[in-house]
Structure 1
Amino acid sequence: MDEVVLDIERMRDLLISPPIALQVLKRDQVRKVDARSQIADALALVKEHDISQLPVYDDGSFQGLLTTNAIARWLATQSTDHAGLAETAPVSEVLKFAEPHESARLCGRHTTVLHVLDLLAPSSPGAHPVTAVIISHSGKFTEQPLGIVVAQDLPRLYASIR
């Protein structure tokens, strides 16, 4: 009986005061890339930091999410259309190869773990969730990222609500 009461109290506390995603994930600096940077710069970040998603900004405004999948599609086009790689191509050009589901949602710094989990989960069978949740001060496109949440973070997010 005591265990049931404790579970109910824990659920109540979770609903009243859910954990904040940014506090649960405690990140280092968010790696991002400028839309006008050369793709070689983005590739260096991917390699150095072992990341698969990079937020792209232009004049301080969020433009999209550069993924390793988009880079692979761009690379395939480069090798067939141009007989080689154009390492000086701008990131904005490579970003055009992102698929519609390779997207990010921007949220404010007080976004809860529950909300992030909802965003990273498919909304219906066969639907694609967002690839990343980018957390900024108040969730505006013109703000610099404070954190980025991706599928790799799901175990830590779930652990924070258990």
Structure 2
Amino acid sequence: MTPKNSDRFIVAYNRIDKSLVKLTGMPNHFSFSRRIDKAKEKNALIRHYEEELREFGSLRNAIIHNRTGLNYAIAEPHDVIVEMIEMIEKKLSNPMTVKDLFSRKVHTLQAKESLATGLKMVREKKFNQIPIYQKGRFIGLITANGIMNWLADQKHEDISREIPTLYDVYNHEKRKNTYRFVKSTLSVYEAEEFFKKSILRGNRLEALLITEHGGKDEKLIGIITPLDLLKLD
């Protein structure tokens, strides 16, 4: 027998409620709404779906408190509502991390390598940011803006005579703190918030650099740009 939408909704709701209890440590007598208030302080996914979760709380009350029989619910949620609450429950139970989605081989270059080498990588790999290193130490990101700034500061005869290194170009980056190292277990919603908050602060991030524990001296295992997050559902 196919379960009714109201039954599927309540099952997903109860699972979310248990997850909120685990997140907050709040006793059972606290309301679903109060648990959302507490959980959103710690969990980016709860913040992301706060409005929907509060609406689910109201719908749950309508289903439970207005039930007039064992097999009759006065409110039967639409399919789209049931699918949404089940989707949120799944994401909350099995949070997607940046390592899950963005772990990949990261192409880096040495600061002493030439701009020509960097431009070749940009052309072949379609990159907008290039992490550069010097003697195993992370230096920073070469960006399209940095390359344009370098070009703007050169005289025509200097461009044809000199072969600049990537470090030369990096010195023309107007904003050098345009990246942040993050740990591999960071949720994708927390990653999204980093980019949003950087814009609000007026210091837009170009990339999040993923290492196992978030340390800059660790091996890069992934990179996230704002464009990457726009491709997510």
TM-score range, shorter chain: 0.7 to 0.9
CA contact (8 A) 1:60 1:143 kept: no
- Aligned to 1:63, which of 139, 142, 160? 139
Can you list the C-alpha shifts for 1:128-155, whole angstroms capped at 9, x where unaligned?
3311011112221112211111122123
* Paired residues of 1:20 and 1:110 also in contact (CA < 8 A): yes
Among 108, 113, 136, the residue aligned to 1:32: 108
The alignment's TM-score, normalised by the length of structure 1, stands at 0.81
| Residues 18 and 47 (structure 1), Cα distance of their counterparts in 2 relative to 1, 3 Å cut | same
Please report how far the alpha carbon of residue 16 of structure 1 lies from its aligned counterpart in structure 2 after TM superposition: 4.1
SS of aligned partner of 2:180: strand
Return the letter of the residue paired with 1:24.
Answer: L
**Cα deviation 1:1-60 (Å, max 9, x = unaligned):** 164354334324333432012222353x21111112122211111111111100111122
State whether residues 182 and 215 of structure 2, in contact with CA within 8 Å, keep that contact through their aligned partners in structure 1.
Answer: yes
Distance 1:149 1:99 in 2: 21
Distance in 2 (alpha carbons) for counterparts of 1:87 and 1:51: 24
Unaligned runs of 5+ in 1: none
Sort the Cα spacing of 1:85 and 1:33 in 2 relative to 1 into closer, same or farther, 3 A: farther
Given that residues 37 and 90 in structure 1 are in contact (C-alpha distance below 8 angstroms), is that contact kept between their aligned partners in structure 2?
A: yes
Partner of 1:70, secondary structure, is helix
- Aligned partner (choices 113, 120, 123) of residue 195 of structure 2: 120
**Larger helix proportion of the pair:** 2
* Secondary structure, counterpart of 2:214 in structure 1: coil
| Corresponding residue for residue 46 of structure 1 | 122
- Trace 1:10-159 onto structure 2 (pairs within 5 A): 10-27=87-104, 29-79=105-155, 82-85=157-160, 88-100=163-175, 103-123=178-198, 125=200, 127-156=202-231, 158-159=232-233
Separation in 1, partners of 2:226, 2:171? 22
Q: Distance in 1 between matches of 2:160 and 2:187?
A: 42
User: Greater relative contact order: 1 or 2 (C-alpha under 8 angstroms, separation 6 or more)?
Assistant: 1
Moved over 3 A (4+): 2-6, 122-126
> Percent identity over the alignment?
25
Name the TM-score, length of structure 2 as normaliser.
Answer: 0.59
3-state SS of the aligned residue for 1:75? helix
SS in 2 for 1:121: helix
- The answer for unaligned runs of 5 or more in structure 2 is 1-76
- Secondary structure of the corresponding residue to residue 63 of structure 1: strand
Change (3 A) 1:54 1:9: same
Structure 1 stretch 117-126 or stretch 142-151: which is displaced more? Answer: 117-126
May I ask how many residue pairs the two structures share in their alignment?
A: 156
